[in-house]
Amino acid sequence: MSLKLPVTFLLISIYSNLHSQSIHSYDSIAGHKKILDKTGEVAAWYKPETPGAAFAHVAKLASEFIKDTPPIDPKTGLPLYYLSCCFSGPHMIGKEAFAMGQSPSNWLNNPACIFAGMVHSLVNGYMVYSGDASYISIVRKMLDYQIENGTTPADWPWANVPYASADPGETVYRGSIRWVKENMRGEGLHGIEPDKVGELGYAYLQFYEVTLDNKYLTAAIQCADALAANVRDVLPRGSTTQEFSIRKSPWPFRVNAQTDIVISDYCSNVIEPIKLFDELLRLKSRINLPEQKELAYNKARTLAWKWLYSKAGPIVSGIWSGYFEDIQNDPDLSNRNQVSPMETARYLIRHPELDSNIKKTVPYLLGFVSTAFRTDGLKAIKEQTWCYDPMGSHTARYASVCALWYDYTKDPYWKKEAFDFFNVATYMTDENGVVRVGPTWAGSWFSDGYGDYIRHFLEGLHAVPEWVNDGKDHILGSSSVVQSVQYTPSQIAYKTFDESAVEKLRMETKPKAVTVNGKKIAEQKNPDIEGWQWEKMTKGGVLSIRHNSGAEIVISK
């Protein structure tokens, strides 16, 4: 490890202290009275007597905050999430100042990450869970704003891709400039982050699957084109470290989109570009993907995947470095983060066929995060070694991957682990929907507290349906994007992007009938054939539906 690490860590700690206030004491966590269960573990602050009730509740509070009461910039009239990464809630500056828009923080913005997360949390997540279609138009405005005000020109080496960052208050995104002299904290003018090109590119594609608007398909393909054109073959060829570099990845962490000059060489977060390539390749016939693009995407995807598992890649080396937009360059690869290993684990659980050794890989990644980023005395996960603070979104991320791994393995250890960490993560949400960064950080970030935080609780509910207990019916998740859903007293009607898909629902009563494109499908014992299954619970049950012959499903109650 570099001797620079303690100095850098000190600087980050000073920054954190300037932008936060201590709100964790023996009796409280993030402004909520701390509640313990019978075993001495921290229970959720909302309805602790009902396991899991708080998980959907905080997702609801956070989602409705973005819809109904986000802070507004008084100069432009825009919701603050277009102009600032973070804000101070009324608990910090008072209700009057908050209502007057006096809450933005003076720190570089991260729009690509914010807007990508909002697709997953608000549209693929809470819209499906609640049936509130208004989130589609809210997120559409976000993506349109990025496309129109934060995309590189078509004649650059990195063409038609989103900027990851911007200076605070800027209405046009062109990279963050103000902190460049601080060892290139941010990307500088025309700097981009290729992993965010993959992250937002995948979100564009998901939003296309919701809306069928070709604007977002085009934006996704442009992101994939740039990633494919600029991928680097850095696969190890020799047997010694002198014959290959562990300091280079298939795409750099930071690069100037106009000049193609690399700013920071290493980024472990290749799973985001891989997700984009995989989904475009899956849809190649449906979207008429040209053969030339298919070949280019396959080549880039293969290089990235092989590198991920190679001796130079992070699964072997453990160098999970390069994600956060506001961290200075790290040529010594001293920093570590938990986002990339957890999102890699999530993708593997969803696609277990990709790793024949998955039962070792995923526990290794979970163990790395739970050990390297643990918080003494509290089941909370810290963000990164250069900002070593426990945070709600990262705690919820770890919990959601534990829940998914429980759903895959049925090992009760992971269910308990998910439950305990989710419980702690609920404390970051105030009753007004303001989500604080963490137990010792009172400020709020749009990426962490909303784009990231909400979706993890909803994934946890999909994995463990018994935690859904509000007396209502909900679609918990689908193997396809869900385009629309309507909940009425007599039925649930929804439409998916794919005709062949599997859904899981929590329902209060067993359905009377299920139709696919108007045709009844039968209750089945075999989950691998078209039909539906009912798993009775103490109250209500879980409905699983497999449909292969249509995308419009109606469940009669």
Q: Identify the three-state secondary structure at position 507.
A: strand
Burial readout 161-175 (b: 16 or more C-beta within 10 A, e: otherwise): bbbbbbbbebeebbb
CB atoms near residue 500 (< 10 Å): 14
Could you give the CA distance from residue 484 to residue 495 in angstroms, rounded to a whole number? 5
Paired strand residues for 254: 264
For 472, residues 6+ apart whose C-beta sits below 8 A from its C-beta are: 487, 508
CA distances (Å), 98 to each of 8, 104, 432, 453, in order? 33, 9, 12, 22
- The structure's pTM equals 0.95
Q: What is the pLDDT of residues 97-152, one digit of tens each?
A: 998 888 888 999 999 999 999 999 999 999 999 999 999 999 999 999 999 999 99
Task: Give me the pLDDT at residue 5, please.
Answer: 33
Q: What is the pLDDT of residues 442-486, one digit of tens each?
A: 999 999 999 999 999 999 999 999 999 999 999 999 999 999 999
Q: Identify the three-state secondary structure at position 450.
A: helix
CA distances (Å), 484 to each of 1, 134, 210, 452, in order? 50, 11, 8, 22
Q: Identify the three-state secondary structure at position 519.
A: strand
Could you give the CA distance from residue 396 to residue 392 in angstroms, rounded to a whole number? 6
Model confidence band, residue 25 (pLDDT cutoffs 50, 70, 90): low
User: DSSP letter string over 390-434?
Assistant: EEHHHHHHHHHHHHHHHHHH--HHHHHHHHHHHHHHHTTB-TTS-
Residue 205's nearest CA partner among 194, 220, 191 is 220
Could you give the CA distance from residue 324 to residue 374 in angstroms, rounded to a whole number? 19
Could you give the CA distance from residue 83 to residue 315 in angstroms, rounded to a whole number? 36
pLDDT reading at 425 higher than 90: yes
Task: Give me the pLDDT at residue 241, please.
Answer: 63
For 369, residues 6+ apart whose C-beta sits below 8 A from its C-beta are: 338, 341, 342, 381, 398
Q: In what order do the strands lie in the sheet with 254-256?
A: 191-192, 254-256, 262-264
Residue 184's nearest CA partner among 330, 333, 329, 323 is 329
What percentage of the chain exceeds 70 in pLDDT? 95
The bridge status of strand 262-264 relative to strand 86-87 is: unpaired
- The answer to whether 139 and 208 have CB atoms below 8 angstroms apart is no
- The answer to whether 380 and 390 have CB atoms below 8 angstroms apart is yes
Q: Which two tokens stand for residue 555?
A: 């469940």
Task: Give me the pLDDT at residue 65, please.
Answer: 98
- The answer to whether 194 and 252 have CB atoms below 8 angstroms apart is yes
Section 355-382 average pLDDT: 98
User: DSSP letter string over 36-97?
Assistant: E-TTSPEEPSSSTTSTTHHHHHHHHHHHHHHHH---B-TTT--BGGGT-SEE--HHHH-HHH
pLDDT reading at 382 higher than 80: yes
User: Whole-number mean pLDDT of the chain?
Assistant: 94
Q: How would you write 365-398 as a 3-class SS string? A: HHHHHHHHCCECCECCEEEECCEEEEEHHHHHHH
pLDDT reading at 11 higher than 70: no
CB atoms near residue 507 (< 10 Å): 21
Cα torsion 459, 268, 437, 163: sign: negative
Name the amino acid, one letter, at 381.
I
User: What size, in residues, is the chain?
Assistant: 557
Task: Give me the pLDDT at residue 181, please.
Answer: 85
Could you give the CA distance from residue 77 to residue 58 in angstroms, rounded to a whole number? 27
pLDDT reading at 51 higher than 70: yes
Model confidence band, residue 243 (pLDDT cutoffs 50, 70, 90): low
Q: What is the pLDDT of residues 490-541, one digit of tens each?
A: 999 999 999 999 999 999 999 999 999 999 999 999 999 999 999 999 999 9
Element (H, E) at 166: none
Name the amino acid, one letter, at 415.
K
pLDDT reading at 52 higher than 80: yes
Residue 36's nearest CA partner among 537, 377, 514, 542 is 377
Task: Give me the pLDDT at residue 88, please.
Answer: 96
Q: What is the CA 409 to chain-centroid distance, rounded?
A: 23
Q: Identify the three-state secondary structure at position 344.
A: helix
350-354 contacts at long range (C-beta below 8 A, 24 or more positions apart): 350/404, 351/278, 352/408, 354/305
Could you give the CA distance from residue 507 to residue 344 in angstroms, rounded to a whole number? 31
The bridge status of strand 444-445 relative to strand 35-36 is: unpaired
Q: Determine whether 116 is exposed, middle or buried from the number of CB atoms within 10 Å of its CB (0-12, 13-18, 19+).
A: buried
Q: Which two tokens stand for residue 491?
A: 């039925």
Q: What is the pLDDT of residues 277-330, one digit of tens each?
A: 999 999 999 999 999 999 999 999 999 999 999 999 999 999 999 999 999 999
According to DSSP, residue 104 is labeled B
